[in-house]
Amino acid sequence: MGTTRTPRASWIEQGLRALATGGPDAVRIENLAQSLGVTKGGFYGYFRNRDALLTEMLDTWEYEVSDGIIAQVDRAGGDARARLERLFLLVAEAADGPVRGITADLAVRAWARHDAGVAERLRRVDNRRMHYLRSLFSEFCTDTDEVEVRCLLAVTVRIGNHFHAADDGIRSRADVMATIRKRLLS
């Protein structure tokens, strides 16, 4: 059996990369092939068609950014605050990765706005994340309403911040975000 020259995973990763930078309509098979240094000849040996690729891209994304990340955070142990800090850090430093990166996350969110299937996946991911956040915040917040507020803030501020294009004011955006993060953990 000849060595797989450009394996299945290559197409998926390159697809996610294209999705992150150009949206779902930028996931063109001939385009991915060129980025991989081949032609589309081999593509249809792995995937039935373009939709099949999109599906598998979403499969890997869905796992990686929910159970994948949570498992990685839990593996390191520590109390709730330590895990939250570790989670924030992990999410920040994977920022430009093709799968767990924030750009892929945002691209999927934008995509979900006009594709029911993607919306359903995103719903699962966000539910899973919120469930995890609730469990962590509850460990040092007794008021359940306060827990809900902090969970929603943690998630929406992170997403909204990346869609927000304003320049820095007197304080830099990073500074303000750090202040907000500190308050969430108080």
Partner DNA sequence: CCCCTTCCATACGGTGGCGTACAGAAGAGC
Partner DNA sequence: GCTCTTCTGTACGCCACCGTATGGAAGGGG
CB of 75 to its own copies, least distance (A): 24
Place of tokens 């993060």: 181
End-to-end CA distance of the chain: 58
38 contacts DNA (rule: CB under 7 A): yes
**Listed residue (84, 98, 3, 78) closest to 42, CA to CA:** 3
70 contacts its own copies (rule: CB under 8 A): no
**Nearer to its own copies by C-beta: 39 or 144?**
144
Among 49, 55, 127, 179, binds DNA (CB under 7 A): 49
From 8-16, 37-45, 60-68, 167-175, give the range in contact with its own copies by CB under 8 A: 167-175
Among 80, 90, 119, 185, binds its own copies (CB under 8 A): 119
Restricting to residues 116-175, name those near DNA by CB under 7 A: none
55 contacts DNA (rule: CB under 7 A): no
**Counting beta carbons within 10 angstroms of the beta carbon of residue 71, is it exposed (0 to 12), middle (13 to 18) or buried (19 or more)?**
exposed
Among 21, 22, 23, 39, binds DNA (CB under 7 A): 39
171 contacts its own copies (rule: CB under 8 A): yes
Q: Which two tokens stand for residue 13?
A: 């990763």
CB of 3 to its own copies, least distance (A): 35
Whether 4 and 46 have beta carbons less than 8 Å apart is answered as: no
From 2-10, 88-96, 112-120, 170-178, give the range in contact with DNA by CB under 7 A: 2-10
For the stretch 162-174, what's the b/e string if a residue is b when 16 or more beta carbons lie within 10 angstroms of its beta carbon?
eeeeeeeeeeeee
